[in-house]
Chain A
Amino acid sequence: MPETKLIAELFEGGWKKVEVIIGEKSMVFGKEKIDFRNITDLELTTFGGKECIRLKSGKDYYLSFGDKQRQIFRFLAFNIKSDKFAVYFLSPALRGGVLVANSKWEKGYFSITESAVWFLSPEKQIRVPLNAIGSVSRDTRTVGDKPRVVLSLTHLEGKEVITSFVLCPETTLELLMDYLRRILEQQKPKEKFSEIEEQILTMVYTGVDSSSIESVLGISTEELNKIYDKFVSLGIAKVVKIRKEIELTPKGVVIVSEIAKKLGGGKGG
């Protein structure tokens, strides 16, 4: 990118207009000069009520580039501090376990930064935070009519589980597998799970609600809550809703009696 001057907004307690000069190796805004090789993390996000780019270079900076945002983001994604491997990738290949029909193989990079891995191509810049990676394995896919060994990566995007595939030379594949497995090993709880705990985990993943889990597995709310508490304490789940169970007071019972009269046909029916 040739040196480019543009007006953006920088968040410093509030959004302020700032001139940004983007060069080949660094960018300048206000009193800051950021060398791209010192940017250790980057993401498109919403902050202070605005869609913006968060970039980390020692500390976090939030910059909003308006209609130039995607273009700047793409440029930075290719230039931040990372280990890049030339690959072909298919992302997303599966979404929630179902084939994504319009997804196609792209030539680009699998890039590794301090806190994320990226699928990079001119079309796509997909950031996957390390703590959003679910599993990594080898798989055989047909690419260009030939069966090829690929790296299969499952990761969370919002609440959806995505599976992506990476096609690369065997030595690169080994290296990436090794790296990603080490990351997963660090994140994995050492705890062993009982069969019922594994079934509950699978059902939560699938999207089954608590009362259905109780009815499918034949367990009480107390038993389920105890298992949920264990998952939460291990950091493998978080509480998103607290269910309330109620019983009627005498006043409530009177109201229900009145309702019953109405339903039963108060006119003698």
Chain B
Amino acid sequence: MVRVLVVDDTAFMRKLLKNILFSAGFDIAGEAENGKQAVELYKQLKPDIVTMDIVMPEMNGIDALKEIKKLDPNAKVIMCTAIGQEQMVKTAIKLGARGYIVKPFQAPKVIEELKKVAGV
């Protein structure tokens, strides 16, 4: 089962993503509300995929992606963005993000993207 770490500073958005992913048969490895927590949890949990919000307090998604990539160059990170953050998405892709989803999103497409990145 593919294990996912969900990272978003909004509790509602985390719940929503967890619900979508759980219904589709993904295992929720853990959740983090900022980039710093995400890096810590990545070390501990070694998830298969991370869904990473970009704009977050403490440490943003781009910096968290950099840290995670330092720990594990093969980490599979999917960025979650809002419309209008294309520049940040491009930076993230250059830094090794495997894909991105734009909020608000629709469940079937999110699942499709995660399955693609997970290779299942």
Q: Interface on A for B, CB 8 Å cutoff? A: 94-99, 137-142, 147, 152, 160-161, 163, 199, 202-203, 205-208, 212, 216
Contacts and interface: CB of A to CB of B under 8 A. Distances in A.
A98 B79 CA distance: 11
* Complex A-B, nearest 7 residue pairs according to Cβ-Cβ distance, in ascending order: A96-B109, A97-B105, A96-B106, A207-B107, A98-B109, A97-B102, A216-B15
B23 A97 contact: no
Q: By DSSP majority rule, is chain B's interface helix, strand, loop, or mixed?
A: helix
Contacts of A160: 106, 109
A157 to B, nearest CB: 12
Nearest to B107: A207
Contact of B110 (A97, A203, A205, A216): A97
Contacts, number: 73
B83 A140 contact: no
B24 to A, nearest CB: 11
Contacts of A95: 109
B83 A96 contact: no
B118 to A, nearest CB: 14
Interface string B2-21: 00000000001001100110
Contacts of A94: 102
Contacts of A139: 83-84, 86
Contacts of A147: 87
A207 B106 contact: yes
A4 B85 CA distance: 50
Contact of B108 (A142, A163, A207): A207
Interface size band for B? 20 to 34
A147 to B, nearest CB: 8
B112 interface: yes
Nearest to A201: B104
Given A97-B106, A139-B84, A142-B90, A206 B20 contact: yes
Interface string B96-120: 0001111111111110110000000
Nearest to A209: B23
Contacts of B87: 140, 147
Given A203-B16, A207-B107, A208-B20, A98 B113 contact: yes
26 contacts: A94-B102, A96-B105, A96-B108, A96-B110, A97-B102, A97-B104, A97-B109, A98-B102, A139-B84, A139-B86, A140-B87, A142-B90, A152-B84, A160-B106, A161-B106, A163-B83, A163-B102, A199-B12, A202-B12, A202-B104, A206-B16, A206-B105, A207-B108, A208-B16, A208-B107, A212-B23
Given A163-B83, A206-B105, 16 more contacts: A94-B102, A96-B107, A97-B104, A97-B109, A98-B105, A98-B112, A99-B100, A99-B102, A138-B84, A142-B90, A147-B87, A160-B109, A206-B104, A208-B20, A212-B19, A216-B16
